Amino acid sequence: MEAEANSGSPEDSWAFIQRPGEGCRTVPLAGHVGFDSLPDQLVNKSVSQGFCFNILCVGETGLGKSTLMDTLFNTKFEGEPATHTQPGVQLRSNTYDLQESNVGLKLTIVSTVGFGDQINKEDSYKPIVEFIDAQFEAYLQEELKIRRVLHIYHDSRIHACLYFIAPTGHSLKSLDLVTMKKLDSKVNIIPIIAKSDAISKSELTKFKIKITSELVSNGVQIYQFPTDDELVAEINGTMNAHLPFAVIGSTEELKIGNKMMKARQYPWGTVQVENEAHCDFVKLREMLIRINMEDLREQTHSRHYELYRRCKLEEMGFKDTDPDSKPFSLQETYEAKRNEFLGELQKKEEEMRQMFVQRVKEKEAELKEAEKELHEKFDRLKKLHQDEKKKLEDKKKSLDDEMNAFKQRKTAAELLQSQGSQAGGAQTLKRDKEKKNFF
């Protein structure tokens, strides 16, 4: 084989090296080599690692989402029943480890609690979109780590969205159309008519046609079962024509004939869940679990996640080619983004510094103005104080003058009074003396 690969002229060898696709040749094997066991190796490895599958159930409260999950996987999943009193839409996620034969499955069921129960349903789809994007973001962050552990990482990305449609028999609600339109680029949508035994067979046929027409006219892309594999192309093509599936769920087993079967008992008769003449439950189980589960997982990774990843990396500035359409390496992209970030950081730092300097100047001006006002106020108060002090001193001087004048007048009065008293005494003695001499 090696001699045949190297045979020919040097030009042929160079052409083979440069263009391996064109120079590749089919070489017959002389005996059994053993790489035909690769599929068995992959199967054994996958079985030992186990599988994961995540289902998102979207629909109004009371459409039988939990019951249908119990019926699909033939078990009873624990969960609290939802009420109609939720203030907003909440997503409740539960993970279960299932075992069938020697195959393990980590099943995650996410239900929308309170969906469609609010008066204002305008933003009912937003928590669902945010939840799906959050799972994509968690996987992307794990991919971007230096030390990745994707082989043991629990993949929580939604692989299938079962959208439960109320059996009105008329048309889709605006809430359903808006929600499915927002989700069709993020998840594989499989529409199903819940509690389909609530409408007659003729009404159900018309309802299916009406739903399909409304989905097409509104541009809603639902999941189409793949027809590129010859083994399942025929059955998947047939099942695509049956969408949306009209299903009934029940965990109650009734004895019908000689067999115990899942059914719903009514006063007028019995509806068998696994009877294809009664509902499409068997078709849904075959398409969702037994035939296309791996394709749903693959579509989630290669289509929906890749779209999210590409948009997210483009937002971060990563590109495959530069403006000249030349390959753009990750290192160059990182360096360019880093330089751009540093430039923006320096620009913001300079703006913040200028803003700080400007604010300091403004504060200094305010303080100087306040100081000037305080000085002016102090001068006014000082002058006022001096004027008041001068008035008080003048008033004190005037009072002192008045007191001195009063003291002088008082002294003069006392002197006059003393002199008057002495003169009066002398006259009295004179009169007494004269009186005495008279006698």
**Segment among 8-12, 213-217, 351-355 with least mean pLDDT:** 8-12
What tokens appear for 277 in the block?
Answer: 């003449």
Coil/strand/helix, residue 102: coil
Asked if residue 327 lies in contact with residue 321, where contact means CB atoms within 8 angstroms, the answer is yes
Give one DSSP letter per residue of 79-92, joined into a string. Answer: -PPP-S--SS-EEE
pLDDT of residue 393: 92
pLDDT of residue 18: 43
Q: What is the pLDDT of residues 86-114, one digit of tens each?
A: 788 999 999 999 999 889 999 999 999 98
Range 213-224 average pLDDT: 95
Eight-state DSSP code of residue 27: -
What tokens appear for 261 in the block?
Answer: 């079967």
pLDDT of residue 5: 42
Range 321-347 average pLDDT: 76
Range 72-87 average pLDDT: 80
**In angstroms, what CA-CA distances link 270 with 202, 259, 275?**
19, 14, 11
* Banded pLDDT at 328 (limits 50, 70, 90): low
Cα 249 from chain centroid (whole Å): 33
C-alpha span between 188 and 221 (Å, rounded): 9
pLDDT of residue 12: 44
C-alpha span between 346 and 394 (Å, rounded): 71
For 361, phi then psi, to 5°, come to -60, -45
Tell me the percentage of the chain whose pLDDT exceeds 90: 56
pLDDT of residue 132: 97
The rounded mean pLDDT for the chain is 87
* Banded pLDDT at 295 (limits 50, 70, 90): very high
Asked if residue 248 lies in contact with residue 273, where contact means CB atoms within 8 angstroms, the answer is yes
Nearby residues of 148 by Cβ (< 8 Å), 6 or more positions away: 142
pLDDT of residue 17: 43
Q: What is the pLDDT of residues 415-439, one digit of tens each?
A: 888 888 887 777 777 777 777 766 6
Q: Is 250 exposed, middle or buried (0-12, 13-18, 19+ CB in 10 A)?
A: buried
Q: What is the pLDDT of residues 40-55, one digit of tens each?
A: 898 888 888 889 999 9
Q: Is 114 exposed, middle or buried (0-12, 13-18, 19+ CB in 10 A)?
A: buried
Whether 83 has a pLDDT exceeding 80, the answer reads: no
Whether 273 has a pLDDT exceeding 50, the answer reads: yes
Give one DSSP letter per residue of 307-361, joined into a string. Answer: HHHHHHHHHTT--SB-TTS-B--HHHHHHHHHHHHHHHHHHHHHHHHHHHHHHHH
Q: What is the pLDDT of residues 167-212, one digit of tens each?
A: 988 889 999 999 999 999 999 999 999 999 999 999 999 999 999 9
